[in-house]
Amino acid sequence: MDRITLTGMHFYGHHGCLPEETKTGQPFDVDAVLYVDVHYAGKSDDLAGTIDYSKVYDVIKDIVENHTYKLIEAVAEMTAHTILSQFAVDAVDITVHKPQAPVGGLFDDVSVTVERSRYDNLLPQPGC
């Protein structure tokens, strides 16, 4: 499957479990991998045959900067769900990085990655 990758998108958001995180905010970085067939776009050189990644960027920016979640897992889940609902992609991988997470020690990064497909909801649910 073909991929469009947006790496290292930098935002300032107000996500976290601690009151100071939601009040003061902190930087977040997001990576997105969009699984989409770009065969037509590659042959036609026509933007209509692919995903306008500037619009994907705008969607991610809105979620990270204009909404508040306790967990970066929720930020990643909402981002994946929104991209799948608004763009003609087969699947997405979303990684949300929280480089200033309050972990009480020295570290480079904390991140969560979710992998979601538009076909996930078509799979049989356990116990059904």
Annotated catalytic sites, by residue? Answer: 98
Q: Which among 13, 12, 11 is positioned nearest to 68, based on CA atoms?
A: 13
- Strand ranges (E), the chain: 3-13, 26-35, 91-97, 111-117
User: In one letter, which amino acid is 101?
Assistant: A
